[in-house]
Structure 1
Amino acid sequence: MARTDGYAPLRTYAAVGDGRTVALIAQDGRVDWFPTPDLHAPPAFAALLDARNGGVFELAPTDPYQVHRHYEVGTNVLVTTFVTDTGSVRVTDSLNTGVAGLLPWSELARRVEGLTGHVPMAWRVAPGTKFNEFSPWVQPTVHGHVLRVGHLTIAVPTLGEMTTVVGEQDLAGTFMTGPGSRHLVGVAASRDEPAHLPVPEDVDAGVDRTVANWLAWSNEFRYDGPWGKAVQRSALALKLLLQSLTGAIAAAATTSLPENREGGKNWDYRYSWLRDTAHTVDALFRFGLREETHAAIRWTLTTLRNPTMHVFYELDGSEPREPREVDVPGWCGIGPVVDGNPAARQLQLGVYGDVLSMVRTYSDHGHLLDAETSRALGALADEACDVWRQKDSGIWELPELQHYTTSKLGCWEALECAVHLAEQGQIHADPRRWRAEAARIRAWVEENCWSEEIGAYVMFPGSRDLDASIFLHAASGFDTGERMSSTIDALRRELGAGPHLYRYSGMSAEEGAFVACGFWGVAALAHVGRVDEARDWMDELLATANDVGIWTEMVDPATADFLGNVPQALSHLALIEAAIAVARAGG
C-alpha cells in the first residue's frame, strides 16, 4: 500500500517487541515507530506521527518490489520477503532478547538474506527530534560513529559487505544480495548510561536466540479450541505489550493515532488500564501461563495500595503524568499529538469489577492472597457498596456524567466477586452487606435500564441510546437469557456496520467501528446459547484482520482502513475471549 505524504496506512503495520518496548514496521520495510529503550520514552523513531522530523529506520530494495510477510510461527519475529524483477530477499526483524531475558540495552536487528538472483538494497538510520525537543547528530568515536539524540545513544552495527555513508544526522548504506548472501543492519540504544556497542555477529546470533526464546514461551501456551492461529497471534500481541520489568500491560504501543480522519480524538495509550489488566489475567490463565498472570496481579495490587485509585497508571505503577500536546503534525497530519491522557482522574465505576474479578480468577486457579491484599479488597468492596449510586464517566471515559448501566454492573460484579472470595476464605470479612447490595444493584438495573419498547438494555435510565459494553455482562453472568439475547439483536441493528460495531449510539458520525465490540458480541452470542451465529460472526470479523493478524483500536467500515492506536490490547483480548466463549459453548 502506497504512502500518502510520507505516511503509511495503519493496516500495513506489523509489530515486534522485547517485553520493554515495541517497534512498528510497515510493509515497505520502514520502522516508523520505536520508542527506545522503553515504551513510555519520547520516541527517537516516530515518523508515524511526524514524517519529516520524527525519525525512521529504512530497509528495502531500491528496485520496485512485491511484499509477503509472516511471523515466524510461535514468535514475534517478523519475516518479510521482497520480490523484484531481478531476485528475492528475506528480511527478518527482531527486537532481540538475551540469554536470561531482557537485554540491558535495546537491540533491533534486521537480518537480510539473499534468496534468488541479485537485489540492490538500501538502508538508513535517521533518528528524529523526540517530539521536537532535541536535534540528533552523528558523533565519531574511537569505535566508529554513533547517533545521539538528547540523552540517547544509538549504535548501528552492520554485517556483510556494504557501502556506508555518514551524514550529519543519519547513517545510511547500500549493498547487493545474492543467493545465500547474509547482511545485517541494527540499532542498539542506551539512555543515560555507558553505551553498549555490540559486535555485529552477536546481534545476528541474537535473532536466532530470540526466536528460540519466543518458542520456549509459546510451548507453554495451551489452547486447543477454534481459530487457534488467530488466538495464539493475539496472545503473542498481548505479550508484546506486557512489561517484563513490572508486570503492567500497556493498552497500546502508540499515542495519538486518530479515531477519525477529522482529528480531535487522539489519545496516548502507553499506560496500563486496570480493565485491560483484568481481561489479560483472565485470558492468560486459560492458556496455562503462570509468570505473566502472577506479575500482572502483583503489579495491580501493589499499585492499588496508593492512596487514590485511578483508571490507569504509568507502566512503572506511578500516578499518571499530566497530559500535554506536542508540536508535531500527527499521522497524515491529523492532530493533536498528545503525550499523556486526560482520563486518568475520572471516576469509572467499572474499575471495581475489573479488580475484584481479576482477583477472583487468580484465586479460582489455586492461589492465595496475603493479609494486606485481603484487607484492601474488603475495603474496595465496602466502597463499591456506596459508590455505585454515583454518576460516573463510564467505560468510554465520557465527559458527561451519567448513571451508566454498565458502570452499575461493574459494581455488581465487584460485589459478587467479593462474596465469592469471602466464601473461599480469601477475604476475611462478613459478606452479608456485599450480597445484599449486589441484589439491590441487580434490581435497580432490571427496573431502570431495560427498555421493553426497544427490547434492549439502554445506555442509562431514560435514554434510548444503546451501548455495546453491555455485552461484557453476558460474560460476567449478569444476564445470559432472553433479555441479553434481544439486546444483542438490537445492538447489531443500530450499531452494526458489516461485522463490526460502533461503541454506542451516534458514534458512526464521529469515529470508526470499535474492534473489540464485535468480538464482545460474538462472546455474548455464545453465552446466550446462539453458538452457530457466534461462529459465523467470528469468521466475518477475522476476515478483516491485516496480513499478519495485528489489530488497531478501530476500523472504518466503509474502507476497511484501520484507525486508532496499535497494537491495541483490548482488540486482541476481545478476540481471545470470543474464541474461548465459543469453545466453551460447544462451538
Structure 2
Amino acid sequence: MTEAAIADHGLIGDLQTAALVSTDGSVDWFCCPRFDSPSVFGALLDDARGGHFRVRPAHGAYESKQMYHPDTAILITRFLTETGAGEVVDFMPPAGREATDNHRLVRMLRCVRGQMSFEIDVAPRFDYGRRAHQTHLTEHGAVFSTDAVTLTLHPVREPDDARLAHVRVDEGDLRVSIDLTAGDVRGVVLESAADGPPREIRVAEFQRLFDDTVAFWRSWLARSTYTGRWRETLQRSAITLKLMTYAPSGGLVAAPTAGLPEQVGGERNWDYRYTWVRDASFSVYTLLRLGFTEEAAQFAGWMRDRVAERVGGEGGPLNIMYRVDGSSDLKEESLEHWSGYRGSRPVRIGNGAADQLQLDIYGEAMDSLFFADRRGLPVGHRGWKAVSELLDWLTEHWDQPEEGIWETRGGRKDFTYGRLMSWVAFDRGIRLAASHGRPAAVGRWTEARDAIYDQIMEKGWNPRRRAFVQHYGGEVLDSSLLRMSRVGFVSPYDPLWTSTLAAMDGELVTDSLVYRYDPAASPDGLQGSEGTFSLCTFMYVDALAGAGRFEDARLVFEKMLTYANHVGLFSEEIALTGEQIGNFPQAFTHLALIDAAITLDEALNRANRR
C-alpha cells in the first residue's frame, strides 16, 4: 500500500510524545516514551513494515472527515456509510511535567446514526520495526511486549456486554471488530508501561478522561491575550506548538516526525524530533506576544541551561540542537529496511548536523533572552555570567566561514545571515548590560558589533544585484535575510532594504510562496530540489508589513493559509503541486505564522487609525 499523504493527518499528544492520526483512522506515527524515542507505529514511513493502529468501518464503502473538538487537541475522525455514521475520538491525556514512561493513547468509538461495525487493527513494530514482540491475549485485553517497551490494550465496555467476540491474533497483530448502534460508545486505551494487567474500562471513566482533557486544553488556551484577526488560526497554531513541547524540560521539538522528504523520492529526509536553539529562541518571542508567559519562561529557562552548560562540540559553546532533555547524542543513521515515504530514501534518524558551526544561533538566543527580559523575565546572575562568556567567545570566532541556518552540507561559507545574527548577539548583550548595570566587556562587544555592521555593508551587499546576498562574494539571494529589518539592522524603508525585498520578490517568490534559496545557483552538497519553505513565506509577510506594504502582506498571508491542511496544520514545505512535504507539523512554520499574523494585525490597525 502507499503511505497516506503527509497532510492527511492530525496531531494528538500528551506533552511528552505525540501521534499522527490519518483521515482514514490510522495512527501512522507514534514514538514512545518520548518524541525522540524509537517508533512503535511508523506506517507513515513504510506502510507495509512500519506498524499501525487502525480503526475504521469494517464493511462497505465509506467517506471520512476529520476535525478537532473546538479549542482542544482532541481529534475527531468521522466515518459516513450507507448504514450509519460513526466517530473515532482520539486524544492523549496530558502526562504532566515529570518525565514518565507511562502514556495513554485513547480511542473512543461512537455510533451517532444508524449502525456501524468498527474494525480495530493493532500492529506495533517496535524500535522502528527492528525489534520483535510478543502478544498475549487475556480475558480483559492484550499485552504487546519487548524487553524494552510494553503496551497494554484496555477495552472500554459495559458490564452487560458479551465477552469480546470477533477477536483474533495474527502473527502478533491484534484484530477486533465491534458492532455499534446509534448512541453506543465503546473504545480502547493503549497504555505504555501500565502498572498492571489489562482491565476493562467503563464508559463513564472513559467520558471523564475526555472531559478532563477538554478542560485542560480550554483552560490553557484561555490564557492567550490575543484578540485580533485570525484568532482561531493562531489558537490552532498555539495548541500545535504546545503539543510539540516536552513538558519536563520545556524543549520544543522542530517536528514530531523523522525522515519525511523535502522532495518526494529525494534524499533530503531529516530527523526533526529534537530541540533546535533557533526554534526555542523564536518560541520565547512568539509565545510572549501571545501572552503565554509560563511557556515562554520555561523555554527561556531551557535556553539559559544550554548557554550555562558550555559543553558544545566543535561548533562552539552551543550545539545547534539537542534532545528534548538537553542531552546532545544525536548520532545519525539510516533505516535501510524501510522503504521511506513513497520511496524517499534514506530514512534518517538522529541528525549529523548537530555539531555544525552555525553562528546565527547566538543572535537568536540573545534576542530571545533580551525580549524576555523586556517582558519581565530577567536573566539571573548565573545566566548573565554564562551570557558574558558566550559573547566573549563570539568576539573571537564570529569572523569565520560556517554551515549557515539551512544546515548545508556543501562546505562552510561566510554566510551573511550568520554575521547578521552575530551583530544581534552583541547588540542585545550591550543593551542588557546597560539596562541592568551588569559587568561586561562592553568595549570589546561594541567593537565587534560595529565591525560586523561595516563588514556586512561592504561584503554582504552586492551592487550588481542591488541586494544583500546569501554569502560574501556571491550573488545568490537567501530568504533568511528577510529578518534584516526586523532585528533592527536596517530601516524597513532604507533603499538598500527595499531593493533587496524587490529582488526577492522577483526571484524567490512564486504566487506568494517563498523559496529559501536556489540550490542550483548555490550548491548545498545534496542532490535534488525542494519545495517552497513555509517558514519563509510567513517571514515574507512580516517583512512586507514592516515595509508598509500592507495590502501585499495581507494577500500573501491569506493565500498561505489556504495551504494549511484540513485541520490547520503546516508541514515544512509546499511542493509545486500544492502538496505538503517535509516533516510535519513543523514548529518553526507555526511560530512564524503567529509572528506574522500579530505583526500584520498591528500594522493594519495602525493604518486604519490614520
TM superposition score category, shorter chain reference: over 0.9
What is the alpha-carbon distance in structure 1 between the residues aligned to residue 72 and residue 174 of structure 2? Answer: 30
The question of whether the paired residues in 1 share the 8 Å contact of 2:260 and 2:582 is answered with: yes
Instruction: Tell me the alpha carbon deviations over residues 518-538 of structure 1, each in whole angstroms, 9 at most, x when there is no partner.
Output: 001000111112112111110
Aligned mate of 1:322, from 313, 328, 331: 331
Given that 2:97 and 2:248 are in contact with CA atoms closer than 8 Å, whether structure 1 keeps it comes out as no
Does 1:581 pair with 2:594? no
Which residue pairs with 2:91 in the alignment? 94
Q: Could you tell me which residue of structure 1 aligns to residue 82 of structure 2?
A: 85
User: d(CA) in 1 for partners of 2:124 and 2:578?
Assistant: 31
Of 299, 310, 326, the match for 1:296: 299
* 1:194 Cα deviation from its structure 2 partner: 4.8
**Percent of residue pairs bearing the same amino acid type:** 31
Matched AA of 2:471: F
Partner Cα separation in structure 2 for residue 149 and residue 489 of structure 1: 58
Asked if 1:7 is matched to 2:9, the reply is no
Q: CA separation of 1:262/1:50 partners in 2, compared to 1, >3 Å: closer, same or farther?
A: closer
2:554 matched to which residue of 1? 535
Correspondent of 1:67 among 64, 68, 91: 64
Cα offset, 1:107, TM superposition: 0.5
| Structure 1 CA distance for aligned equivalents of residues 442 and 266 of structure 2 | 48
Partner of 2:506: 493
My pick for the range that moved more, 369-378 or 534-543, is 369-378
Query: Is the partner of 1:317 in helix, strand or coil?
Result: coil
Q: Is the 8 A contact 2:33 2:100 kept in 1?
A: no
Cα deviation, residue 291, structure 1: 2.0
- Residue in 1 that maps onto 2:466: 455
Q: CA shift at 1:146, angstroms?
A: 0.8
1:264 shift after superposition: 1.1
- 1:240 corresponds to: 243
Which letter does structure 1 place at the counterpart of 2:217? W
Q: Is the 8 A contact 2:156 2:206 kept in 1?
A: no
The answer to whether residue 484 in structure 2 is matched with residue 484 in structure 1 is no
The one of 317, 332, 337 equivalent to 2:342 is 332
For residues 27 and 140 of structure 1, the distance between their equivalents in structure 2, rounded to whole angstroms, comes to 29
Which residue number in structure 2 is paired with residue 163 of structure 1? Answer: 165
Q: Which residue among 243, 254, 257 is the counterpart of 1:251?
A: 254
Match of residue 356 from structure 1:
366
Provide Cα deviations, 1:470-527, integer angstroms capped at 9, x if missing partner: 0122221112223222222211321223221111123696111111110010001111
Query: Number of residue pairs matched?
Result: 580
- Residue 572 of structure 1: which of 581, 585, 590 is its match? 590
SS of match in other structure, 1:545: coil
The answer for the alignment partner of 1:265 in structure 2 is: 268
1 CA distance for matches of 2:189 and 2:566? 25
Letter in 1 for 2:480: S
Equivalence map 1:504-583=2 (5 Å): 504-506=517-519, 510-557=529-576, 559-583=577-601
Confirm or deny that 1:306 pairs with 2:301. Answer: no
Are 1:424 and 2:410 an aligned pair? no
**For 1:90 and 1:510, how far apart are their aligned partners in 2?**
40
State the distance in 2 between where 1:106 and 1:254 align: 18
Give the CA deviation at 1:196. 6.6
Q: Distance in 2 between matches of 1:360 and 1:438?
A: 16
Cα 1:493/1:390, change in 2 over 3 Å: same
- Residue 266 of structure 1: how far off its partner (Å): 0.8
**Aligned residue type for 1:116:** R
Kindly indicate whether residue 453 of structure 2 is the aligned counterpart of residue 435 of structure 1.
no
1:258, 1:334 within 8 Å by CA — same for their partners in 2? yes
Provide the rounded CA distance (Å) in 2 between the counterparts of 1:577 and 1:461: 29
- Measure the CA separation in 2 of the matches of 1:262 and 1:28: 23
- Measure, in 2, the Cα distance between the counterparts of 1:88 and 1:485: 55
Of residues 26, 32, 37, the one that matches 2:28 is 32
SS at match of 1:44: strand
2:448 paired with 1:444:
no
After superposition, what is the alpha-carbon deviation per residue over 1:447-479, rounded to whole angstroms, capped at 9, x for unaligned? 211223323211112211110000122221112
Q: Once the 2 structures are TM-superposed, how far is the Cα of residue 198 of structure 1 from its aligned partner?
A: 5.7
Deviation at 1:419, TM superposition (A): 0.9
* Cα 1:10/1:490, change in 2 over 3 Å: same
Q: Deviations over 1:414-436 (max 9, x none)?
A: 01110111012174224232223
Distance, in Å, in 2 between the alignment partners of 1:523 and 1:538 is: 9
Q: Secondary structure at the match of 1:434?
A: helix
Question: What residue identity is the alignment partner of 1:317?
Answer: G
Query: How much does 1:253 deviate?
Result: 0.3
Residues 6 and 580, structure 2, Cα contact 8 Å, conserved in 1: yes
Structure 1 residue runs without a partner (length 5+): none
364-373 or 30-39: bigger deviation: 364-373
- Output the CA distance in 2 between the equivalents of 1:580 and 1:97: 28
Q: State the secondary structure of the residue aligned to 2:485.
A: helix
Shift of 1:67: 2.0
Indicate the RMSD between aligned Cα atoms, in angstroms.
2.0
Q: Larger deviation: 503-512 or 6-15?
A: 503-512
Distance 2:251 2:97 in 1: 20
Structure 1 residue 386 displacement after superposition: 2.5
Q: Which residue is 2:608 aligned to?
A: none
**In the alignment, what sits opposite 2:525?**
none
Cα deviation digits, residues 111-164 of structure 1 (max 9, x gap): 112111112211111101422321122124686431113421111112235534
Gaps of 5+ in 2: 313-317, 522-527, 606-610
Cα distance in 1, alignment partners of residues 52 and 423 from structure 2: 48
Q: Which amino acid aligns with 1:307?
A: V
Distance 2:197 2:536 in 1: 44
1:219 aligned residue (222, 237, 245): 222
Quote the Cα distance in structure 2 between the aligned partners of 1:149 and 1:436.
Answer: 59
Secondary structure in structure 1 of the residue aligned to 2:94: coil
Contact 1:124-1:170 at 8 Å conserved across structures: yes
- Contact between 2:133 and 2:145, CA under 8 Å: does it hold in 1? yes
51-60 vs 269-278, which moves further: 51-60
**Partner letter of residue 584 of structure 1?**
E
TM-score normalised by the chain length of structure 2: 0.91
Contact 1:378–1:427, Cα closer than 8 Å, also in 2 = no
Structure 2: distance between partners of 1:97 and 1:367: 26
- The offset of 1:320, in angstroms, is 2.7
SS of equivalent residue, structure 2 residue 39: coil
1:204 is displaced (CA, Å) by: 4.4
Deviations along 1:14-66, one digit per CA (max 9) or x if unpaired, are 10011001100111111000112211111111111121221100001132222
Structure 2 counterpart of 1:395: 405
